[in-house]
Amino acid sequence: MSSNSTADDPCGPDDHLCIALIHLQGVIIVPTLLLLGTLVTLLALCILRFYPERKRTQVTAPQRHHSSSHRHRNNNRSHLQGIDAPAGINPLEHEELPMSVQQVQQTVVPILAAAPQVSTERQHGAFSQVTALPLSFSMKPDDSASLYRGRMDNRDVILRMLKERATSSEKQHFLGFASFVSGLGPHPFLPELLGVVSVQSPLMMVVEELQHRDLLGYLWRCRQDNSSVESSCEMTEKRIFTMAGQVASALEYLHTQGCIHGDVGARSVLVGGDLTAKLWGLGSAYRRRTRAASPGDAEDEETRKWRAPEVLSRGGIIQSSDVWSFGLLLYEMVTLGDPPFAQISTTELLQHLQRGKHLKRPTGCSNSLYSTIRACCHWRPQQRVSMSELIRTLQEAERSADGRKVLRVSEPLDIEKYMKEAGYGEAYNYAVL
C-alpha cells in the first residue's frame, strides 16, 4: 500500500512548491478565467446601457444648434417678456426645445370670472389687462381653446388659450398649429405670431390684435348710416383694391411656402386700425397639412359657397382654387358683406356653375372691378388669372380707382337671411384664431 501512495503523490509532505505546481490549473487558472469572464460581461453590459444615451445626446445637439441659429437670425424682433417662440418646435418633443416662460415682476390683472377654466394661480407675468374677447357671428368655435384680449410689451394682443380640460390629442394639435404658423415665417400682411407658451399651463398662442377684427364684420358696420358710423368705416373702390392687393400679396406668399389657404373669404381677413388687411384663418391649411389629404376630402359645409368647382366636385384643392375664392372675396367687399350666389342653394351650386352661370355684377361695381372678379372665377382652373398677374392688376386698378365715392347698400343686414343665403346650417360664434 505504501509503495502505491508514493507513486501517486510524487511530492513529499513538506514540498509546498511541488504541491502548488500540481494543483496550478484547478486552484489558480480556472478562478482567474472566471474572474476575467465576469469583468468582460460587466463591461459589455455597461456599454449597452450607456451607448443609446450617448447617441441621443449626439442627435439632439444639432437641434439645439438649429434653434440657436434661428433665434440669431430673428434677433431683430423685439424682446418678448414671458414668452419666446423659436421656430421648429416639435409638438411631441417640445420639452427638448422648450418655449421659455420667464417670470417678470409686474402686476397682472387676474383673468375675469368669465373664463373659470383658466386658473388665476398660474399667472403669466408678461400679460396684463386680460379680458375675455367679445364674440360675434360666424364660424364654428374651437371648443378646445378660448380667446382673450390682453396687453404685452405695451401693445394689444390676442391670447388663444388651450382649455385645461383639453385632451392630449388636442394639446398636440394646438402646439402643432403654433409650429405650423411659426414655420410660415413673417409677412407684412399675415398677423404676427408674437409667441407661444408651451411648457406652462395654460398653453397659449399670442398674436397681434387688429383693431377692427374680421373684414366681414367691418363690411357690415359700413352698411350703417353715416350718422352712426365712424368716418374710417367707409369703403370706396380704391380702398377695395388696396385691401385686396394686401390679401393677394399674403396669398401669393403662402403659395411660395407650399401652403394652399383653402378658406379665403371676408371672414378670414383681419383689419387693423389703419385699415391694413391681413389674411388669417389658417386652420383649414393646417388640417390638410397634418393628414394625408386625398382628393375630395370634405371641408366644413358652411364654406361651400366660396369653394371652386373642382373642390365642389371633390377633385382636390389647388392653388388656383384660392384664386376662385379670392374673386368671391372681391364680391363680398363691393357688396359690403353679401354672400356669393345668394339665390342658389349649396346643393345646386355645382350644377349652376356647370351650366356656365357666374356671379352677377353687383350694383355700383365698376367695369374694372367686375372684370377682375370674372378673371378669378373661370370654370377651368388653367384659365384663371395667376397670382402674380392678379397682384399687378390690382395695383394698376388702385391707381385709377375712385377714392371719393363711398359704397352704400340700401338693404340693412338681416342675419337670418344671410345665414340662409350663405349656406350656414346654424349660427356659430365667431372665432377665426
Is 314 part of any domain?
A: yes
Is 351 part of any domain?
A: yes
Angle between helices 283-290 and 168-184 (to 10 degrees): 110
Same domain for 367 and 392, yes or no, is yes
Long-range (24+ apart) CB contacts under 8 A made by 15-19 are none
Surface-to-core class of residue 55, CB atoms within 10 Å of its CB (0-12 exposed, 13-18 middle, 19+ buried): exposed
Strand partners, 236: 406
263 a catalytic residue? yes
pLDDT at 101: 30
Going by pLDDT thresholds of 50, 70 and 90, the confidence category of residue 370 is very high
Strand partners, 234: none
Average pLDDT, the chain: 76
CATH number at residue 377: 1.10.510.10
pTM of the shown model: 0.69
Is 13 part of any domain?
A: no
Same domain for 154 and 101, yes or no, is yes
Mean pLDDT in residue range 2-10: 53
Same domain for 144 and 261, yes or no, is no
Mean pLDDT in residue range 412-419: 88
Is 84 part of any domain?
A: yes
Same domain for 239 and 349, yes or no, is yes
Question: Do residues 372 and 393 make contact, with C-beta atoms less than 8 angstroms apart?
Answer: yes
Which of residues 158, 187, 209 is at a domain's end?
209
pLDDT at 41: 86
Question: Do residues 145 and 162 make contact, with C-beta atoms less than 8 angstroms apart?
Answer: yes
Question: What are the DSSP E strand ranges found in 295-420?
Answer: none
Which of residues 161, 194, 209 is at a domain's end?
209
Surface-to-core class of residue 258, CB atoms within 10 Å of its CB (0-12 exposed, 13-18 middle, 19+ buried): exposed
pLDDT at 26: 62
Question: Do residues 332 and 407 make contact, with C-beta atoms less than 8 angstroms apart?
Answer: no
pLDDT greater than 60 at residue 56 = no
Give percent above pLDDT 90 in the chain.
Answer: 45
pLDDT greater than 60 at residue 8 = no
Question: Do residues 311 and 296 make contact, with C-beta atoms less than 8 angstroms apart?
Answer: no
Which are the contacts of 413, defined by CB distance < 8 A and separation ≥ 6?
220, 223, 337
Phi-psi region of 235 (alpha: psi -120 to 50; beta: other; left: phi over 0): beta
Type of residue found at 84? D
Give percent above pLDDT 70 in the chain.
Answer: 66
Is 27 part of any domain?
A: no
Q: Percent helix, strand, coil in the chain (nearest 5)? A: 45, 10, 45
Is 8 part of any domain?
A: no
pLDDT greater than 60 at residue 301 = yes
Q: Which of 84, 142, 214, 263 is catalytic?
A: 263
pLDDT at 241: 98
Same domain for 257 and 373, yes or no, is yes
DSSP letter for each residue of 69-122: HHHHHTTTSPP-SS----S---TTSTTTS--------S--PPPPTT-TTS-TTS
Mean pLDDT in residue range 329-345: 95
Nine cell digits for residue 25: 490549473
Which of residues 209, 230, 260 is at a domain's end?
209
Surface-to-core class of residue 368, CB atoms within 10 Å of its CB (0-12 exposed, 13-18 middle, 19+ buried): middle
Same domain for 257 and 335, yes or no, is yes
Same domain for 225 and 202, yes or no, is no
Whether the link from the prior residue into 202 is cis, omega within 30° of 0, is yes
* pLDDT tens per residue, range 245-264: 999 999 999 999 999 999 99
Is 3 part of any domain?
A: no
Same domain for 237 and 198, yes or no, is no
Same domain for 251 and 399, yes or no, is yes
68-77, 308-317, 378-387: the lowest-pLDDT one: 68-77
pLDDT greater than 50 at residue 92 = no
Same domain for 116 and 226, yes or no, is no
In sign, the C-alpha dihedral spanning 300, 306, 312, 314 is negative
pLDDT greater than 80 at residue 223 = yes
More confident position, 111 or 232: 232
Q: Which domain holds residue 381?
A: 213-410
* pLDDT tens per residue, range 109-153: 232 223 333 322 223 556 666 767 665 444 445 667 888 888 888
Number of domains into which the chain is organized? 2
Going by pLDDT thresholds of 50, 70 and 90, the confidence category of residue 165 is confident
pLDDT greater than 80 at residue 105 = no
Same domain for 315 and 265, yes or no, is yes
Is 310 part of any domain?
A: yes
pLDDT at 80: 29
pLDDT greater than 80 at residue 405 = yes
Residue 130 CB neighbour total at 10 angstroms: 23
pLDDT greater than 50 at residue 408 = yes
Same domain for 303 and 356, yes or no, is yes
